[in-house]
Amino acid sequence: MNDILPPEVSKWQFVEEKARAVLEAFAYRELRTPILEYTPLFVRSVGEDTEVVEKQMYTFADRDGQSVTMRPEGTACAVRAYIARSQWNREPVTRWYYLGPMFRHERAQRGRLRQFHQVGAEVFGLAAPTVDAEMIAMLVALLAEMGIKSSDLEVALNTLGEPEERASYREALRGYFSNHLDKLDEDSRQRLQTNPLRILDSKDPDIQTLAAHAPVLLDRLGDTSKRHFETVRSHLSALGIQSVVDTKLVRGLDYYTGTIFEVKAKLGDLGAQNTLGGGGRYDRLVSSLGGPEVPAIGFALGVERVLLALAEPAEDFEPVLALFIAVLGDKAQAWALPVAHRLRMAGVRTEVEHRQASLKAQLKRADALKARLALIVGDNELQSGKLVLRDLGTRQQHEVTEAELEARIRQLVDF
């Protein structure tokens, strides 16, 4: 769990602001849910046999003896809120997004933190394949707005079909892997009994080689599921999104049905943890948690992963400090305070020196803060009414009056 300090926080703000802008453009509205939820919510939605529930959740008893969990993901919380407000009675289609921290006790490795942050989006009430394609295209557009081109991304797709179709496939997988027990590691042997699809998600090279010859779910789906999946791919092509079918893609949570997807980066400092985000359909989750039968689809984007994919240093994302006011003496200090306040209220980012320091020291600090301009104010400037405005990039100086100050700053600084 990391502190996020300046200037790094400016890079975070950039990602969050771009995410909000794109999601709002797609008519999503923000949802904010509590960090703590009752534990059964995640056991019932994420899946009792998933690694998240078995090994990673931060779960404890509160003072009333109730089992609570710090949210490990956002979809279950959104569904709980959707049901609690009977949202289907308020509107036929609900589009929500959220930003915030999630918590999982994962093994420490690059790109994986125990408090990590996600941008997520959920749509309730739409079953059409067009919304699957729209959501994937939105995720790609969101990353493009952050500076990650589609040519630097890989969009991987699969379909899990309906639960009934998956049940027979699960048995086929169990039969295949049971014939190779000597090649399975301990985790895979456990998954063989609980959820054999999770073996396909193993990162062990030997297991991956074995899984390459396993039965393929796509070959066993009915015509309706296959047609939905092919229509999604067709709409993605029409939207200019290239995709690849990854038959071993299963995602880590039990609630998924139908279309699932991941977006991976082919650049940046990600290493093996190159999946930026992913999601899929969960058409049975609302009803399984006590609501009506409502189709739904969502995704989550890992903020830390995106930050690793952005090559620019954090300093490049800091907002421009338009003006540093260097004051010489008490009178100058008293004059500077209300002037700085007026400029700040007009949207001019301004820093005032409050310490007693030489002009040389103050200008050195202005350079360290990367201020664009420095306003030098002393007794002589106050007496004459002519202030010295220095461009710290070109080192040119301009004489200005107090009345001209804001206009001249806007003329010299693009912010």
What pLDDT is attached to residue 269?
Answer: 60
Q: Where are the alpha helices (DSSP H) in 160-273?
A: 163-178, 186-194, 205-211, 223-238
Q: Are 324 and 374 in contact (CB under 8 A)?
A: yes
pLDDT at 54: 75
What is residue 123's three-state secondary structure?
strand
Per the CB < 8 A criterion, the answer to whether 199 and 252 are in contact is no
Query: Under a CB-based contact definition with an 8 Å cutoff, are residues 257 and 163 in contact?
Result: yes
**Six token digits for residue 341:** 């306040």
Rounded to whole angstroms, the Cα distance separating 15 from 119 reads: 9
pLDDT for the residue 111: 64
Instruction: Quickly state the pLDDT bin for 182 (edges 50, 70, 90).
Output: confident
- Is it the case that residue 309 has pLDDT exceeding 80? yes
Residue 55: its pLDDT value, please? 79
Residue ranges per structural domain of the chain: 8-161+221-309, 319-412
Q: What is the pLDDT of residue 402?
A: 95
Q: With respect to CATH, is domain 8-161+221-309 assigned 3.30.465.10? A: no
Q: Of 164, 160, 145, 167, which is closest to residue 232 (Cα–Cα)?
A: 160
pLDDT tens, residue by residue, 322-361: 999 999 999 999 999 999 999 999 999 999 999 999 999 9
Q: 384 pLDDT exceeds 90? A: yes
Q: What is the mean pLDDT of residues 380-409?
A: 95
Q: Reply yes or no on whether the pLDDT at 186 is more than 70.
A: yes
pLDDT at res. 164? 86
* pLDDT for the residue numbered 112: 76
- In CATH, the architecture of 319-412 is 3-Layer(aba) Sandwich (3.40)
Q: How many CB atoms lie within 10 A of CB 13?
A: 14
Residue with tokens 């960090």: 35
Q: What is the DSSP letter of 248?
A: T
pTM of the model: 0.89
Omega before 7 within 30 of 0, i.e. cis: yes
Q: What is the pLDDT of residues 68-101, one digit of tens each?
A: 999 999 999 999 999 999 999 999 999 999 999 9
Strand duo 153-159 + 243-245: pairing:
parallel
Residue 235 or residue 189, greater confidence: 235
Average of per-residue pLDDT across 358-373 = 96
**Has residue 150 got a pLDDT over 90?**
no
| pLDDT over 80 (residue 131) | yes
Angstrom distance (rounded) from CA 334 to CA 327: 9
Instruction: Give yes or no for residue 411 having a pLDDT over 90.
Output: yes
Beta partners for residue 275, in sequence order: 264
Total residues belonging to the chain: 415
Look at residue 110 in the predicted model and tell me its pLDDT. Answer: 67
Least confident of 54-58, 107-111, 262-266, 383-387: 107-111
- Distance, CA of 258 to CA of 263 (rounded, Å): 17
